[in-house]
Every structure is written in C-alpha cells, then in structure tokens.
Amino acid sequence: MKTCYGNLFSAISTLFVASIIVMLMISGCFRSFTSFSGSTLQYSGSIEVIQLNRNITISDRVQTIHSVRSSLSFQLNRTVTRKFAKVIRREDEHEQGLARARASIRRAASGLNLSSIADSHHKSDIDSTAIYHNARAFYRSYLEMEKRFKVYVYSEGELPIVHDGPCKDIYTIEGRFIHEIEHGARRFKTNSPHNAHVYFMPFSVTWMVKYLYKPLTYNLTPLRQFVSDYVRVVSSKYPFWNRTQGADHFMLACHDWGPHASQGNPDLYSKSIRVLCNANTSEGFNPQKDVSLPEIHLYGGEVSPKLLSPPPAAADSPRLHLAFFAGGIHGPIRPLLLQHWKDSDPELLVHEYLPKDLDYYSLMLQSKFCLCPSGHEVASPRIVEAIYAECVPVILSQNYVLPFSDVLRWEAFSIRVDVSEIPRLKEVLTAVSEEKYRRLKEGLRAVRKHFVLNQPSKPFDVFHMILHSVWLRRINLRRQ
C-alpha cells in the first residue's frame, strides 16, 4: 500500500511539473525554450508600408492550451491555463489594435480617411504639407500613436548611469528624453509591462563614457559589458526580451559611441530599435529598424535667445551672406571644405575658428545657407541650429540617415550636396533660384516645431517625433 501511494504521489508530481513547464513554454516565460529558432524578425521600410505577419498565431497557442487542458485533469492546471490564456488575450488585443491602426493609416495615405484628421485638435498643423512624404499618413499615424502607444520603462539600474543623462551641452537630447519618458509623458508610459507595446532601457551611453571609460585608452569594453549585463538582468527577470529577441525593445544614445555600446548584446545590435545620433549606415545603422536622433547642442541647457525668435519673413530678406560655417578640422569632410573655401570668398564665410569679434548665431541669422559638414561622426548639431535660425541647412555628409526622414521630406527645407561637389559649392548655391529659396524658407518655418525641445514636451515637438519614429517601427514589426 505504501508503495502504491508512493507511485501515485510520484505520478501526480510528474503531471504537476509537466503542467507548469508546458504553460511556461506557451507564455514565453520558460526562457530555455523561447529562442524562436527558425523564425526571423523583420521590419517594413516606411510609414506607407505597414503590415504584420506572425507564424506563431494566437489561435495556435490557444489550441495548444486546450490540448494541455484535456490531457491534464487536476484543478491547478485549469487555474494556470486561465492565467496564461488571459495573457495571450491581452497580447491578441494589442496586435488587433495595431492592425486597426495600420488600416487607418493606409486609408489616410490613400486619401480615404480625412474627416477624423480635419476634425481633430491638431487641425492647425495640417496646413504645411510640403515638408512630409505623405501628410495624411503622418497625421493619422500620430493620432493613432496618441491613442494607443504604451511604453514600459525598466526600473532596473541605478543612478547615475541609468535613469539619468546629460541635459545640456552637445548630448542634451539623451538626458532630456530619459527624463521626459520617466517623469513626464503620462499619456504614453505604463507601469504594467503586460500593457506595453515597447520596452525602454533607460541607460545613458554618455554617462557610461564619463564613469566607466578610461581616457585615452580607446577601450570600449566596459561600455559593451555594461549593456550586456543590463540586457542579461532584464531578460532573466522578465519574459518580454526573450519572446521577441529584443525586437520590441529600444535604447537611446547621442554619444558617438552609442553604436559601439550596443554591440554588448548581439540581439540588441541587430534586432532592437536603436535610437542614435550616430546614424551611419556604413557602421551598421539600419533605417528599417533604427531611429536617427537629432543632435541638439544647448549651451547651459537653453537655446540661445537669438534663435528663439528669428526675424519675421519680411524683415530678414535679403540676408547678407551666401553661406556660413565655422568649426574645427576633424573627420574626412571638413578638411576638404576648409581647403577650398577657408577665408577665400567674401560671400562664403568659412572659418576654422570664428574670430572673437564675430558672433556665431548672428552670422547664422545673416546667412542664406548654413554649411553642415560631418565631423568625426555623421551627425552635426549645426543642422538643428540652422533650422532654428531659418538658415537653409546644406548637408555635407556620407552615409548619414537624416532624422525623421521616414516622415519628413528634407529636400523641402534643406539642400544636400555631395562631398565631390565641394569645389563647386558656390556655383551650386548661387544656382538656387529665389523661388526655390523662398519655398525652402517656408519649409524651415513649418518644420521647426518638430525639432524644438520643450520641457515639458508639447505635441509634435522633438520628443514626440522621436517617440513616433519608435511607434512606426513597432507597428511595422513583422514576425515570420
């Protein structure tokens, strides 16, 4: 009898363990079985190509639950099944909501769903359509983001490297975004990870460099190791990283070494959404899944008063100088620019370092075009400064994905000049007709709101544009 009871107890124990293991496998919580081997995670390319295809369907998983329920009869199994069925229903509701958003955006892009936009509280922002690839699609997408998008911010990590970042000087955007998503942005932030569409890892690469990097060693291993450890912690504590291999997670970094730090985890580098100022396609930046972050240099944490309110259109024309640049010689492009144009033409004010009797922002406001050559890396804060000054940016770069270019038509408010054309720079700029220049200036006035860094954030400002770029990549995420 004792042996019989022992066998019965053993059998029940085996069934209990089997039930728990199967349930965890279904939910994505049993990490050893959630590598999604044989599947790939892909993104479609733009706001106008929005689709989702999932191999592991909701019905497949529900059918698996029913088969487990029929084979395991004790009460605990039914309780566990109900729990994980609820999780799956919540995921299903998320995906159905995203599907409705995609359909709405497609209708708007085709001009079939204009009334909801025209009647919205953003009606005044629809007037300037020339700066967008498809204004209807963008505004519909923005409204869907406001309506649905939820971000979970991981609480793991300690100050100063996590939950903080620089809020002034050249890497301002890094700390400002972390602060806003952590302490503002109530519309988008959720305290329940099960309700989130994306998951934010709030570490600062700039502060990693400050606190972990040993100067002049060029040893970036401590940065990669920190990122590796952070991913290991959140992927061990939560099921969310493992169920998509990090494809619905994002990091943000403005420091030049942000891409190098992301190499600390291969899935973060190749699958996650990386929001980077250093958006260089020759160094692994993938515009289908990564986001180009505008570099904003705020001396002392504030925009220069001279750039806050540029002169009205009627008062600032004609501008005295054809073009302006001042900056140090570093990187491959600036030496070419200075070689051909430094102090050589009174109409093109090109300086290595600005003379003390001249003011940088005053010269921007007095120039028709502002030259924005890349330095060591592709991004330049001069682009945003030029937008603020309504001085048409002249982009001199290679392999640079411009910020928000999946939504914005940069040709509507800037000029891109190939590096090989630098010797002909004056000829290229003087060939711009007055009519085209007028349209470029109108485009600058219209696009300015998308690059303003407000505190707290305001609709359509740079914080919301960054978030919209992340939203766009999330709704374009495909599992195959």
Same domain flag for 436 and 330? yes
pLDDT in tens, 425-459: 999 999 999 999 999 999 999 999 999 999 999 99
pLDDT in tens, 356-408: 899 999 999 999 999 999 999 999 999 999 999 999 999 999 999 999 999 99
Supply the pLDDT for residue 22: 41
Supply the pLDDT for residue 88: 66
* 236 in any annotated domain: yes
Same domain flag for 165 and 291? yes
Q: Which residue has the higher pLDDT, 474 or 13?
A: 474
| Sequence-ordered alpha helix ranges (H) in 249-381 | 258-262, 266-270, 305-308, 334-341, 360-365
Residue 76 amino acid letter? L
Residue 31 — φ and ψ, nearest 5°?
-65, -25
Q: What confidence tier does 280 reach under pLDDT thresholds 50, 70, 90? A: very high
Supply the pLDDT for residue 36: 28
With H, G, I as helix, E, B as strand and everything else as coil, classify residue 186. Answer: coil
Structure tokens at 374: 């890349």
Q: What confidence tier does 129 reach under pLDDT thresholds 50, 70, 90? A: confident
Same domain flag for 442 and 322? yes
* 403 in any annotated domain: yes
Same domain flag for 194 and 282? yes
Statement: residue 5 has pLDDT above 50: no
CB atoms within 10 A of CB 431: 9
Same domain flag for 442 and 314? yes
Statement: residue 53 has pLDDT above 60: no
Q: Which residue has the higher pLDDT, 68 or 93?
A: 93
* 69 in any annotated domain: no
* 440 in any annotated domain: yes
Same domain flag for 245 and 267? yes
Q: What confidence tier does 126 reach under pLDDT thresholds 50, 70, 90? A: low
CA 46 to mean position of chain CA atoms: 14
Q: What is the mean pLDDT of residues 280-302?
A: 96
Radius of gyration of the chain (CA): 26
| Contacts for 404 with CB less than 8 Å, ≥ 6 apart | 292, 294, 450, 465, 468, 469
Q: Which of 465, 476, 471, 472 is nearest to 149 (CA)?
A: 471
Supply the pLDDT for residue 81: 59
Statement: residue 41 has pLDDT above 90: no
Q: What is the mean pLDDT of residues 236-265?
A: 97
* 196 in any annotated domain: yes
Supply the pLDDT for residue 66: 47
The number of distinct structural domains making up the chain is 2
Q: Is the dihedral of CA 406, 258, 476, 173 positive or negative?
A: negative
With H, G, I as helix, E, B as strand and everything else as coil, classify residue 192. Answer: coil
Statement: residue 246 has pLDDT above 60: yes
Residue 402 sits in a domain whose CATH number is: 3.40.50.2000
Supply the pLDDT for residue 79: 58
* 221 in any annotated domain: yes
Supply the pLDDT for residue 86: 63
Containing structural domain, residue 273: 152-299
* 176 in any annotated domain: yes
Q: What is the mean pLDDT of residues 149-174?
A: 97
Burial 415-426 (b: 16+ CB within 10 A, else e): bebeeeebeebb
> Domain end: 299, 333, 360, which one?
299
Supply the pLDDT for residue 310: 73
pLDDT above 70: percentage of residues in the chain = 76
* 198 in any annotated domain: yes
pLDDT in tens, 175-217: 999 999 999 999 999 999 999 999 999 999 999 999 999 999 9
Mean pLDDT of the residues in the chain? 84
CA–CA separation, 202 and 185 (whole Å)? 14
> Domain end: 238, 273, 299, which one?
299
Q: Are 386 and 295 in contact (CB under 8 A)?
A: no
Q: What is the mean pLDDT of residues 42-56?
A: 45
pLDDT in tens, 69-100: 444 444 556 555 565 566 666 677 888 999 99
**Which helix (H) or strand (E) element contains residue 182?**
helix 172-183
Supply the pLDDT for residue 345: 95
Residue 265 amino acid letter? N
Supply the pLDDT for residue 8: 40
